[in-house]
Amino acid sequence: MTYLTVLGKTVDEAIAKAINELQTTREKLSYRVIEKPQKGFLGIIGSKPAKIEAYVLPDPVELAQTFLEETISLIGHEATITKTVSDKHVLFELASSDDVGRLIGRRGQTLESLEYLTNLVCNRGEQSYTRLELDIGNYRERRKQTLEQLALRVANKVKDSKQPLPLEPMNALERKLVHETIKSVHGVVTESKGKGGNRHIVVLPVK
């Protein structure tokens, strides 16, 4: 990180100079005022300019990618990361010749944890929030299809048997997907039960 000391007649002028010299924007500039401007005798003799120390804020997405690469390496894996950027959304797609099951984890828990930590690194500054998503081997889409099929299968079973059935614990996004999928099945309803890692959906017949 390059720090630059800049002088100006006013703090605003010093900031403008720093932006120009660092070739950045006001949103990406961080600075601290070292000395405020002081007027001298008769406004001329002994006057002192404003002095600031400024630097360009690191790109949060680049920081997040570096963190992700280093974390995967510490786990003992080698993976290439492809970045796709859209409006306030970034997708990191991981590709590895190693056993990707270790990076995905049981029910995707390892992948979810990596995504959570990477989001924390990306959004710990004061810049606007950027949502990051991680995927590997098209796991997200395959998991989505599996959950939709499971939800419909269980819903139809409950509809026929008139007996409630619980599903395995899931994260909030997966529970939302199941709730939405089962809405299309008449004669059954869903509700979430449990806390924390045991939060799960129960499919019930309509009374």
For residue 87, the 8-state DSSP code is T
Q: Are 190 and 163 found together in one domain? A: yes
Structural domain tally of the chain?
A: 3
- From 117, 137, 157, the end of a domain falls on 137
Q: How many residues does the chain have?
A: 207
User: Is there a single domain that holds both residue 126 and residue 69?
Assistant: yes
With H, G, I as helix, E, B as strand and everything else as coil, classify residue 121: helix
- Whose tokens are 């409950």? That residue is 158
Domain boundary among 120, 137, 154: 137
Q: Which run of H or of E encompasses 82? A: strand 80-86
Assess whether 75 and 128 both reside in one domain.
yes
Out of 97, 112, 137, pick the residue that ends a domain: 137
71 membership: H or E segment, kind and range: helix 60-75
Check which CATH number belongs to the domain holding 73 and give it. Answer: 3.30.300.20
Q: What is the pLDDT along the chain (207 residues), one digit of tens a residue?
A: 678 999 998 999 999 999 999 989 888 888 999 999 887 655 555 578 999 999 988 888 888 999 999 999 888 888 889 999 887 689 999 987 777 888 888 888 889 999 999 999 988 866 678 889 999 989 999 999 999 999 999 999 999 999 999 999 988 889 999 999 999 899 999 999 998 888 999 999 987
Q: What is the CATH number of the domain that holds 152?
A: 3.30.1370.50
Indicate if 66 and 131 belong to the same structural domain.
Answer: yes
Same domain for 129 and 149, yes or no, is no
**5 membership: H or E segment, kind and range:** strand 4-8
Of residues 192, 191, 187, the one with CA closest to residue 158: 187
The answer to whether residues 93 and 42 touch, using CB atoms and an 8 Å cutoff, is no
Pairing of strands 50-56, 29-35: antiparallel
Q: Which domain holds residue 177?
A: 141-205
